[in-house]
Amino acid sequence: MKIRLIDIAHARSGDKGDTGNVGVIALRKEHYPLLVKYLTVDRVKKHFEGIALGGVERYELPNLWALNFLLHEVLGGGGTRSLKNDAQGKTLSSAMLRMELEIDETITLKG
């Protein structure tokens, strides 16, 4: 089935230099394995094509049902150098949550 990431996760993003970090957290514990399985570095890299110009790194935090992504060269130089409206990467979190995922599993979404 096709799901939107926003239906199974919440997120927060921030900046360090020209790198943005996006923490993606499963809304329910049983959805964390879906994040691990489907929210791969390659998929995230493709999603942020033309936005994150450098590499993408992924870290797992099973204790928080969360993944942490580092998106390099994503802030137009970062800090005060950036000409971006979102120079601090505050909205990278919601940009991540726009992603759609095709999953093998069938899951029940609330509402």
Partner 1 sequence: MKQSIRIASGQGFWGDLLTAPYDQVTKGPVDYMMMDYLAEVTMSIMQKQRRKDPSLGYARDLVPLMKRILPIITEKNIRVITNGGGVNPLACRDAIFEVAKQLGIKGLKIGVVLGDDILSSLDALADQGIPLDNMETGEKLAGVRDQMMSANIYFGAWPVVEALEKGAQVVITGRTTDTGLTLAPMIHEFGWKPDDWDLIAAGTVAGHILECGGQASGGNFSGDWRAVPDLAHIGFPIAEAKPSGEIVITKHEGTGGLVSVQTVKEQLLYEIGDPSNYITPDCIADFTSIQLAEDGPDRVRVYGVKGRPATEFYKVSMSYLDGYTAIGTLTYAWPDALDKAKAADAILRTRLKDIGLSFDEIRTEFVGHNSCHGPLVGEPGDLNEVVLRIGVRGNEYADVQRFGMELAPLILTGPPAVTGFAGGRPKPSEVIAYWPALMPKSAVKPEVVVESL
Kindly calculate the radius of gyration of the chain based on its CA atoms and give it in whole angstroms.
14
Cβ neighbours, 10 Å, residue 71? 28
Verify binding: residue 15, partner 1, rule CB under 8 A. yes
By CB under 8 A, name the one of 3, 5, 21, 34 that touches partner 1: 21
Least Å from the CB of residue 88 to partner 1: 9
Query: Which structure tokens are listed for 13?
Result: 């993003």
d(CA 67, CA 37): 11
Verify binding: residue 23, partner 1, rule CB under 8 A. yes
Q: Which residues contact 74 (CB under 8 A, 6 or more apart)?
A: 18, 19, 20, 48, 51, 52, 53, 54, 89, 92
Applying CB under 8 A, the span of 34-42, 63-71, 100-108 interacting with partner 1 comes to 63-71
CB 20 within 8 A of CB 89: yes
User: Which CB atom, from 59 or from 109, has the smaller least distance to partner 1?
Assistant: 59
By CB under 8 A, name the one of 7, 40, 45, 70 that touches partner 1: 70
Which positions touch partner 1 (CB under 8 A)? 10-12, 14-17, 21, 23, 25, 27, 47, 49-51, 59-66, 68, 70, 76-81, 83-86, 90-91, 93-95, 97-98
